[in-house]
């Protein structure tokens, strides 16, 4: 009787996984880059960057944004209370790049603010309708990044979601960070392509200024330390107004954390906003997450029942084959093929070690600000 119940749960989890594969993951992984007709008019764009104590990155990264191969755009960098040489570096860059606009926020001893204030100031100062966001510690994959993002916009599109990768370094922590980033990126891009947008990342995101104003900016969740990207998309994104930009030219790269402690701190801040997602998003994400855990728990448990051992092995084998196919095609699309060999092991480490550790940590400790 117990074996039959376990088998039933395994079949349900497998069916849920296959359902989402059919409507989202396969469509994204095997969709490839869609060709876009050449546009006679390329709308001007405002690229927005927030920087706090980014002197080590700002010159190289902002320069790569400023040198994008796109006809009309401005780059707005907000120096958000930096105490290093970030502002000085930006002022020097302005001498060579007239399209660079530098804004400064000074520290207030009484009022403490987060990244949303810096973004709001930049958005209100933007002179163009199309806003493109990248972080100061990020750089675009190519000089065609802005062109590729802007190509996705049409009359109905208000939000474009991109993929923000992390640089390839040596070590297990780096592989886990990149695999976690790939899993999340593949999930939100796949679901958005399937008509269910629920989040985006601020290091590679674009939307219309008019949409931001219509949504009253970040005011509905201004009290939350994070969420300037995913909560905005979760609230404003629909299957009609959201599209994805996912090919190698559309990617941005960031420097990953070097230690487990630093990565945990960053990750805790990122996942803390999920509780504020709309109910439909929480239901879908919860269903996907629970089905993943129950799949492996029930599949491994069923191996101990000789009666269903070969059935369990067959289901596990089918799952691994499908997952490998999706991972390989999606990794090729997003430039993460070096992770493929380790993908199954890294998935287990994330599911059964790192994610539970983050969940427990968030229950025990207070969230940190976006930069300190």
Name the percent of the chain lying above pLDDT 90: 67
The per-residue pLDDT for 372 is: 46
Task: Choose the weakest-confidence range: 135-139, 171-175, 351-355, 360-364.
Answer: 360-364
Q: Is the pTM of this model over 0.85?
A: yes
Does the structure show a pLDDT above 90 at 336? yes
pLDDT, residue 37, reads 46
198 near 92, Cβ under 8 Å?
no
pLDDT confidence band for 111 (50 / 70 / 90): low
Taking the C-alpha atoms of residue 239 and residue 264, their distance in angstroms, rounded to an integer, is 32
Please state, in angstroms and rounded to a whole number, the distance separating the CA atoms of residues 327 and 333: 10
Average pLDDT over residues 16-27: 84
Counting Cα atoms < 13 Å in the Cβ hemisphere of 362 gives 17
pLDDT for the residue 110: 55
Encoded tokens for 83: 């105490």
Report how far residue 171's alpha carbon sits from residue 156's, in angstroms, rounded to the nearest whole number. 44
- Mean pLDDT, rounded, of the chain: 90
How far apart are alpha carbons 58 and 322 in whole angstroms?
A: 41
What is the bridge-based pairing of β-strands 138-140 and 242-244?
unpaired
| Window from 80-84, 147-151, 318-322 with minimum mean pLDDT | 80-84
107: CB partners within 8 A, 6+ apart: 81
Neighbouring residues of 250: CB distance < 8 A, sequence distance ≥ 6: 141, 145, 148, 149, 162, 163, 204
Q: Does the pLDDT at position 207 exceed 80?
A: yes
pLDDT beyond 50 at 331: yes
Contact predicate 202/270, CB 8 Å: no
- For the residues of 70-126, what is the DSSP string, one character each? -SSEEEEEEEES--SSHHHHHHHHHHH-TTEEEEEE---SS----HHHHHHHHHHH-
10/295 Cα distance (integer angstroms): 6
Q: How many CB atoms are located within 10 Å of the residue 96 CB?
A: 9
pLDDT above 70: residue 35:
no
8 Å CB contact between 128 and 43:
yes
Could you tell me what percent of the chain has a pLDDT over 70?
A: 94
Q: What is the mean pLDDT of residues 65-93?
A: 93
Segment 151-172 mean pLDDT: 95
- Whether the predicted pLDDT of 183 surpasses 80: yes
Q: Which has more pLDDT, 123 or 6?
A: 123
Whole-number pLDDT of residue 248: 86
pLDDT at residue 371 tops 80: no
pLDDT at 235: 95
Strand partners, 159: 207, 242
Instruction: Reply yes or no on whether the pLDDT at 54 is more than 80.
Output: yes
Conformation bin of residue 140: beta by default, left when phi > 0, alpha when psi is -120 to 50: beta
Decide if pLDDT at 206 tops 50.
yes
Q: Is the pLDDT of residue 362 over 80?
A: no
Structural element, H or E, at residue 166: strand 164-166
Instruction: Give the pLDDT score at 32.
Output: 61
Average pLDDT over residues 183-210: 95
Domains of the chain as residue ranges with CATH: 2-28+280-364 (no CATH), 35-268 (3.90.550.10)
C-alpha to C-alpha distance for 227 and 66, rounded to whole angstroms: 26
Please check the confidence at residue 70 and state whether its pLDDT lies above 70. Answer: yes
| Residue 368, Ramachandran bin (φ over 0: left; ψ between -120 and 50: alpha; else beta) | beta
The answer on pLDDT for 295 being more than 80 is yes
Q: Which of 29-43, 95-109, 118-132, 290-304 has the highest mean pLDDT?
A: 118-132
Phi first, then psi: give them for residue 164, nearest 5 degrees.
-110, 105
């Amino acid at each position: 009787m117990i074996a039959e119940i376990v088998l039933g749960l395994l079949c349900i989890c497998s069916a849920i996984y296959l359902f989402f594969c059919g409507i989202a993951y396969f469509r994204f992984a095997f969709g490839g880059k869609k060709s876009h007709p050449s546009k006679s008019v390329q709308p001007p764009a405002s690229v927005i960057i927030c920087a706090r104590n980014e002197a080590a990155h700002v010159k190289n990264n902002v320069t790569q944004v400023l040198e994008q191969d796109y006809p009309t755009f401005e780059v707005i960098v907000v120096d958000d209370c930096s105490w290093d040489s970030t502002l000085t570096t930006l002022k020097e860059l302005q001498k060579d790049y007239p399209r660079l606009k530098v804004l400064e926020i000074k520290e207030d001893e009484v009022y403490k603010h987060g990244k949303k204030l810096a973004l709001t100031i930049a958005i209100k100062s933007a002179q163009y309708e199309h806003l493109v966001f990248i972080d100061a510690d990020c750089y675009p994959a190519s000089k065609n990044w802005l062109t590729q993002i802007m190509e996705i916009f049409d009359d109905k599109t208000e939000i474009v979601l991109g993929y923000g990768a992390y640089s390839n370094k040596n070590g297990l922590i780096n592989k886990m960070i990149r695999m976690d980033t790939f899993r999340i990126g593949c999930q939100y891009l796949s679901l958005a392509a399937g008509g269910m947008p629920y989040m985006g990342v601020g290091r590679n995101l674009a939307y219309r200024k008019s949409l931001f104003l219509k949504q009253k900016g970040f005011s509905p969740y201004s009290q939350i330390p994070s969420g300037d990207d995913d909560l905005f998309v979760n609230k404003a994104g629909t299957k009609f107004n959201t599209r994805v930009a996912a090919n190698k030219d559309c990617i941005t790269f960031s420097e990953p954390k070097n230690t487990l402690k630093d990565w945990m701190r960053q990750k805790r801040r990122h996942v803390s906003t999920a509780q504020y997602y709309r109910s439909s998003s929480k239901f879908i994400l919860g269903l996907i997450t629970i089905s993943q855990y129950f799949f492996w728990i029930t599949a491994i448990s069923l191996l101990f029942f000789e009666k269903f051992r070969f059935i369990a092995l067959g289901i596990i084998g089918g799952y691994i084959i499908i997952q490998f196919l999706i991972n390989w095609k999606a990794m090729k699309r997003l430039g993460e093929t070096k992770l493929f060999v380790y993908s199954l092991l890294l998935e287990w480490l994330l599911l059964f070690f790192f994610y539970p550790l983050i969940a427990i940590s968030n229950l025990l400790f207070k969230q940190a600000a976006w930069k300190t």
